Amino acid sequence: MQFSFDSFVLAACTADLSDATDPAVEEHADAVEFRMDLAASDPESALDAYDADVPLVATNRAAWEGGDCDDGDDERLATLERAAERDAVAAVDIELDSLLTPRGETAAERVRESGASVVASFHDFEGTPASSELRAKLHRAATVGDVGKVAVTATDDHDALRLLDATNAATTWGDTVATMAMGEAGRHTRAVAPVYGSKIGYAPVQPADATAPGQYALETLSRLVGELERKPDT
């Protein structure tokens, strides 16, 4: 199973794969992002036991990128390679900085050989880069991954607008990207970015267990994206 990201994918985020049977997931989500680094028990055993129909995006977020996995890159990436071998895993999220190393390039090749897509991700928890840097990051991520994901932190409307402009530019160039601005000032971008070409949105299965600042509840984000995508009557 593999995502082509030709259309928008709404991913329900969780560290507990039993959440995949939640009615909200079955009704609103296209995928489940499994945060392996946040799992309370062995995440690989959880993958082995997974039998829901919703495809998975496997994420094992490094501590240096805001996650809880403090394994070395070799071990962390090897875990993601093994995750990709499961039929239910349609995509694997790998940090852009890792993908720019020889070990990361090997991991991406092995993930694709297993039939999964690669989400190349970059997170800025301090702010929003300048427009030129933001566009360069998006293009680089989209080049090494099947989709380039950039999540920044917005402190005001100008940051949010800069992200949306970069999203539109990347899409116009033909890059496949996923973008969002974390924090209250950028929260609306999670619903609006798909209008400008963003291909992935994230929302927690359980609102109290949000995995990033400013996430909407799953049902709410599904409704907002759906309403904004709806074409007006003519």
Could you read off the pLDDT of 23-61 as tens digits, one per residue?
Answer: 999 999 999 999 999 999 999 999 999 999 999 999 999
Cβ contacts of 184 within 8 Å, gap of 6 or more: 213, 214
Q: How far apart are CA 228 and CA 225, in angstroms?
A: 5
- Scanning 85-119, the segments in alpha helix (DSSP H) are 96-99, 102-113
Identify whether 137 is part of a domain: no
> Which amino acid, 14?
T
Identify whether 179 is part of a domain: no
Look up 28 and say whether it is catalytic.
no
Identify whether 49 is part of a domain: yes
Identify whether 178 is part of a domain: no
Q: Which of 28, 137, 149, 199 is catalytic?
A: 149
DSSP state of 62: B
Identify whether 164 is part of a domain: no
**Annotated binding site, which residues?**
33-35, 61, 190, 211, 215
CATH of the domain at 82: 3.20.20.70
Identify whether 149 is part of a domain: no
Identify whether 59 is part of a domain: yes
**Model pLDDT, residue 1:** 63
Q: Which of 28, 123, 137, 199 is catalytic?
A: 123
Lookup result for tokens 């992935």 = 200
Q: Which two tokens stand for residue 190?
A: 């999670």
Total number of domains in the chain: 1
Residue 12: name the closest of 176, 180, 217, 178 by CA: 217
> pLDDT tens string for the chain (234 positions)?
678 788 999 999 999 999 999 999 999 999 999 999 999 999 999 999 999 999 999 999 999 999 999 999 999 999 999 999 999 999 999 999 999 999 999 999 999 999 999 999 999 999 999 999 999 999 999 999 999 999 999 999 999 999 999 999 999 999 999 999 999 999 999 999 999 999 999 999 877 777 777 789 999 999 999 999 754 444
Range of the domain at 60: 9-118+186-229
Look up 188 and say whether it is catalytic.
no
Q: How far apart are CA 152 and CA 183, in angstroms?
A: 9
Q: Are 90 and 2 in contact (CB under 8 A)?
A: yes
**Annotated binding site for 3-dehydroquinate, which residues?**
33-35, 61, 190, 211, 215
Q: How far apart are CA 101 and CA 79, in angstroms?
A: 17
Q: Other C-beta atoms within 10 Å of 177: how many? A: 29
Q: How far apart are CA 46 and CA 68, in angstroms?
A: 17
Identify whether 125 is part of a domain: no
**Model pLDDT, residue 234:** 40
